[in-house]
Amino acid sequence: MGERYGLHLLLLVVSLFVIKTHSSFTPSDNYLINCGSSSETKLPDGRSFKSDQQSVSFLQTEEDIKTSVDTIPVSSDTLPLYLTARIFPGKATYSFYISRPGRHWIRLYFYPLPHPLHNLTDSVFSVTTDTTVLLHDFSPRDASSVVFKEYLVYASEKLSLYFKPHKGSIAFINAVEIVSVPDELVPDSASSVPQAPDFKGLSSFSLQVSHRLNVGGDLVSSKIDPLSRTWLSDKSYNTFPEGSRNVTVDPKTITYPEGGATAEIAPHPVYSSAAEMGDAKTSEPNFNLSWRASVDSGHDYFIRLHFCDIVSKSLNELVFNVFINKFTAISGLDLSSKTNALGTAYYTDFVLNASAITNGTILVQVGPTPNLQSGKPNAILNGLEIMKLNNAAGSLDGLFGVDGKYRGPSLGMSSKKLAIAGIGFVMGLTAFFGVVVLLVRWQRRPKDWQKQNSFSSWLLPLHAGHSSYISSKGGSTTSRKMSIFGSKKSKSNGFSSFFSNQGLGRYFPFTELQTATQNFDEKSVIGVGGFGKVYIGEIDGGTQVAIKRGNQSSEQGINEFQTEIQMLSKLRHRHLVSLIGFCDENQEMILVYEFMSNGPLRDHLYGSKESDPNPIPTLSWKQRLEICIGSARGLHYLHTGAAQGIIHRDVKTTNILLDENLVAKVSDFGLSKDAPMEQGHVSTAVKGSFGYLDPEYFRRQQLTDKSDVYSFGVVLFEVLCARPVINPQLPREQVNLAEYAMNLHRKGNLEKIIDPKIVGTISKGSLRKFVEAAEKCLAEYGVDRPGMGDVLWNLEYALQLQEASAQVDLTEDKTTMNIQMEFSGEEMQSPPHPLL
């Protein structure tokens, strides 16, 4: 008897061990509701959904209607859930108490069942939580298929679902799931694509599952997945199936590494199947395996790739590249180095920025690494997950917030904005009548009009900036026709009327600029951008100017020209590059600026080599501080000096130019944005330069003046270290200068990357104050960053500390430069806030 009892106990322990091994996660919250049903419903995967009577306590509504049918003309593993529904003529709320805070599945089931009084195919409604719009003006009109929506949201204490019918319509729901998931299912950070600082703060986002694929295998049902997920076959996603070969092995052979992938990340069948290159046994495979998925534009996307080497016979045979929307996501992925074993699960996460998505598609590719030293070229993929992140409106479906108000960039004016719009209308009307008068005068012009003063000399006011090149010299203002009046010799490009209202100063005939640049000789090119080329030229008998000639075929160039004109028409400051005039003739769009003889700051940091015939002299630490101060003054003026405030959006060392006296001036306003009048941010697609991008702007698409502050913080470290902000040739931890410098600073090892040409010349106090300013600029969240006025104050203080140290014996100070910021700095009183 005792032996039998012992045997039963042993079997029980073994059984429990097996169960624990295959399903180690038990959700603390597990609400499964079959809406409108009168009895509990059990699915083929073993899950049981409660009936209405069992779940009525979760629902709050003034009126709801139940409906049910015996069958519907669709096939689904979850078919029983679609045979009943609740209908809501008014607002309804499902509320669920959360026993353990964390991420939860929200799974919603919809099918428009027939009803004698309500046509569910015509229903229009929204579904929201307290913080996130899940569906906006949703209408499941197709009765030939069911609709299943799956979300991941954070919940604590209580999670509520609000069903809000559109005016005159109804809402309905067939079934609801609220189920907690493992904490490690979605991390807080992921690698960014395109290359940029890692995307951080994922825990603050809600996600919607867009696609979940078992690559190289068949459908994996919710019965097999420990989190009740369904993994579709990749057959309809593979863009080149004839070039790939599906591989499968026994799922029991797959192992999960300790501290890595788990069955909750993806079940065994996902890792036991893969697609590899169909000609992997040939010597010269020359293509990538590709999977294309349709997505909604205007959102960032969380992408998880699953890998497991089930094709190699030994380690280090399989090395390949990974691309997302043709950007390199991983170069030279060696699964053996990640897992140290074959048949071992591995996954990696990315966030694809909305700006990198075109035509509403995401393209994932894997391809062999060129010049492979060992093994035969091959590439594999086992699984793919794509999830949408909520946008700046807090929505996963459109630009309306949970309060129903539009949160996009252009709709909805406050009274203040309406007043401004009214003033603008009156001014526009006045301008219209002014143009009519000018046209009448033009028709009545004298025959010898060309001998008289040009219209441009009185139509456009002179630029009143600080440039020494503003005034016209004798004889240079003749024969300046304006294409706005339709001259036979000039074809208007549509921008001249826009130009003429901006106060852009002097008008240059195209022939004058041809002469100034020797017919736009390529030898005169001093810069190239999305707008076109910049030439050096001479006007008025020897005055050098910079001439920016727009690229007529570039949409980016046209947009940047418009923006730069709008910005420059209201900017006047010693530390902003000044505009002299323009040309609008024969489809040309040309702007003329003061010439900055010492070029961009970057060239003075690491743009020239000592082997060059005329190397650029090294900037001293004092000169670098003065340049940073000048740049900060220019940015501070942008943020606070203009009537509305302007966000530059592309602060970098190539957009800080130096004149003959090394005075810094901020340039290139093609990406600039007017700061918002009331809101703290502008919702806009991400633009700028990688390495300088504000990570908060990058992930939330909310632009603020603190985005410029972050970029300027990168500039400060670039000035200190004299190296590129992104260098993909370096080890991964060193690729991004800002991240690497901050890590070294925290460890007290910043001296490792300070420009060796200035090591030993920086006073401790000056360095401390400078790095302190840079560190504050690079705070993760904009609210924690200082304004440009405070940054300027710190830089002015750093300069004063440097100048003070130059007046004393620096021998002891320069022998050892401990950059752990434990020093107290020079003893001197802090200066007053600098006058701007």
Give the pLDDT score at 588. Answer: 82
Angle at 772 (CA atoms; ends 766, 776), nearest 5 degrees: 150
Residue 566 lies in a domain: yes
87-120: per-residue pLDDT in tens? Answer: 999 999 999 999 999 999 999 999 999 999 999 9
Name 665's Cβ contacts closer than 8 Å, sequence gap at least 6.
574, 575, 576, 577, 596, 630, 634, 656, 657, 658, 659
Q: Which amino acid is at 716?
A: L
284-342: per-residue pLDDT in tens? Answer: 555 789 999 999 988 999 999 999 999 999 998 899 999 999 888 999 999 999 999 99
* Max Cα–Cα distance, the chain, nearest Å: 126
Q: C-alpha distances in angstroms, 256 versus 25, 190, 262, 317, 347?
A: 15, 21, 6, 20, 11
3-15: per-residue pLDDT in tens? Answer: 444 444 443 333 3
Question: Do 306 and 322 belong to one domain?
Answer: yes
Q: Which amino acid is at 95?
A: S
Measured between its terminal Cα atoms, the distance across the chain in Å is 94
CATH number at residue 253: 2.60.120.430
Question: Do 171 and 203 belong to one domain?
Answer: no
Residue 381 lies in a domain: yes
Residue 399 lies in a domain: no
Confidence of residue 610 (pLDDT cuts 50, 70, 90): low
Is 769 a known ligand-binding residue? Answer: no
Give the pLDDT score at 450. Answer: 38
Last residue of a domain, one of 127, 148, 181: 181
Residue 152 lies in a domain: yes
Name 696's Cβ contacts closer than 8 Å, sequence gap at least 6.
201, 702, 706, 707, 710, 780, 781, 782
Question: Do 310 and 346 belong to one domain?
Answer: yes
- Tell me the C-alpha distance between 370 and 269, whole Å: 30
Question: Do 208 and 172 belong to one domain?
Answer: no
Specify the 3-state DSSP secondary structure of 181. Answer: coil
Check if the beta carbon of residue 546 is closer than 8 Å to that of residue 517: no
Q: In what order do the strands lie in the sheet with 65-68?
A: 65-68, 84-88, 171-173
520-529: per-residue pLDDT in tens? Answer: 999 899 888 7
Residue 320 lies in a domain: yes
Question: Do 243 and 308 belong to one domain?
Answer: yes
Question: Do 492 and 578 belong to one domain?
Answer: yes
Number of domains in the chain: 4
Question: Do 508 and 569 belong to one domain?
Answer: yes
Check if the beta carbon of residue 495 is closer than 8 Å to that of residue 461: no
Name 48's Cβ contacts closer than 8 Å, sequence gap at least 6.
32, 40, 41, 42
218 is catalytic: no
Question: Do 792 and 697 belong to one domain?
Answer: yes
Q: Which amino acid is at 703?
A: L
Question: Do 635 and 778 belong to one domain?
Answer: yes
Does the structure show a pLDDT above 90 at 676?
no
466-502: per-residue pLDDT in tens? Answer: 333 223 333 333 333 233 222 333 333 444 444 444 4
CATH number at residue 564: 3.30.200.20
Last residue of a domain, one of 160, 181, 202: 181
Confidence of residue 453 (pLDDT cuts 50, 70, 90): very low
pLDDT higher at 357 or 611: 357
Last residue of a domain, one of 134, 164, 181: 181
Question: Do 154 and 212 belong to one domain?
Answer: no
- Tell me the C-alpha distance between 727 and 263, whole Å: 37
Which residue segment(s) compose the domain that 153 sits in? 30-181
Check if the beta carbon of residue 685 is closer than 8 Å to that of residue 355: yes
Least confident residue range of 230-244, 255-269, 675-689: 675-689
Q: What is the mean pLDDT of residues 579-598?
A: 84
> Which of the following is catalytic: 29, 234, 584, 650?
650
Question: Do 194 and 285 belong to one domain?
Answer: yes
- Tell me the C-alpha distance between 604 and 151, whole Å: 51
Residue 262 lies in a domain: yes
Strands 189-193 and 92-97 turn out to be unpaired
Residue 415 lies in a domain: no
CATH number at residue 664: 1.10.510.10
Question: Do 588 and 629 belong to one domain?
Answer: no
Residue 245 lies in a domain: yes
